[in-house]
Structure 1
């Protein structure tokens, strides 16, 4: 998992698409770039997320998270991470929790997602969200991943068997897209 995450974060930096308008947290500011412009360059850095913070997050959202996703959150901080059609929730060092909570509770009506047991964690293309389906029976909170189309609020389409499997399949899809 760490290899996949690092590969695609490094790709973002090497393609020089690691910039965003507005402020970048000091720890993530790319000091080798001209940051006196409206757009600031950022660099991915080692995650500082703790087990205690993850436990508090789980209490706040009312669901346990998959161990693989918690491991993902403990790999790197970033502003953008795209793999194939998947765009992960922004994960900046000091505001990662607020960004994730915003996606879970404020991105779309919570009665369509979190209140039905679906925890959004990434955008899919420009029309949907990938969610953990906590309504499925599974061991170790290793929930299947479902796709929610924001135009069809009451349907969830199975996408991947679990988070780690999803990362592997997305990496393959991403490489295939680059070859086309």
Structure 2
């Protein structure tokens, strides 16, 4: 199996193991919606931590009645869909990213607490890519970068097409400075680096955190 598919499958397994905290959205496409076992969920802690060595710790909230669980479904994205998006953005995706786009539909999945690629749900995956890049056009598209995800609260994970249009490096564009920071020599190398790390772990809040957040 390719590194791209391995990354997606492992990331899906991570969120599925902790679905009450990681696998829900306020709005879910009807084809991706799945039922919740509320009798089991109500026994869970309202807040947990998501920890990973060398990465930012995230506070997680338990799914609420206003949210819906989602499930991954088989891909519907065609080569023609990708070609139309490339024409709109005036770039050509590397083959590794095309493979990523063509493998399953899902919302937010990850194996690195800091690096979250854009959600890829059926019906809106293309608009998500367009909107995120158009909103930051002056620091991304106009400067030779294409955003594909977020790096914590610090910046945008991007392809850098300035040095190579065929084999773009992956950089993080800092939100404050607008400057690039190298993450990996290409998309495949980034996935390999992420997979090699210990996976994030959902953990109980510390005593002082429970007191601060009012968690019994």
Of 96, 111, 119, the residue aligned with 1:83 is 111
Of the structure 1 ranges 89-98 and 31-40, higher mean CA displacement relative to structure 2 is found in: 31-40
TM-score between both structures, scaled by the size of structure 2:
0.74
Question: How far apart are the structure 1 equivalents of 2:180 and 2:167?
Answer: 17
Matched, 1:161 2:185: yes
User: Counterpart in 1 of 2:25?
Assistant: 20
CA deviation string 1:137-164 (max 9, x = no partner): 36xx2210011110112x1111101001
Q: Give the superposition deviation at 1:39.
A: 0.6
- Deviation >2 Å, runs of 4+: 31-37
User: Counterpart in 1 of 2:131?
Assistant: 102
Q: Give the superposition deviation at 1:33.
A: 4.7
Q: Specify the SS of the correspondent of 1:77.
A: coil
Question: How far apart are the structure 1 equivalents of 2:134 and 2:200?
Answer: 32
TM-score between both structures, scaled by the size of structure 1:
0.89
User: Counterpart in 1 of 2:174?
Assistant: 149
Q: Give the superposition deviation at 1:81.
A: 1.4
Higher relative contact order (CA 8 A, sep 6+): 2
Of 22, 43, 56, the residue aligned with 2:84 is 56
CA contact (8 A) 2:119 2:128 kept: yes
Q: Unmatched 5+ residue regions in structure 1?
A: none
Matched, 1:37 2:62: no
Of 46, 49, 69, the residue aligned with 2:97 is 69
Q: Unmatched 5+ residue regions in structure 2?
A: 39-62, 202-216
User: Counterpart in 1 of 2:194?
Assistant: 170
CA contact (8 A) 2:157 2:171 kept: yes
Computing the radius of gyration over CA atoms, which structure comes out larger, 1 or 2?
2
CA contact (8 A) 1:87 1:123 kept: yes
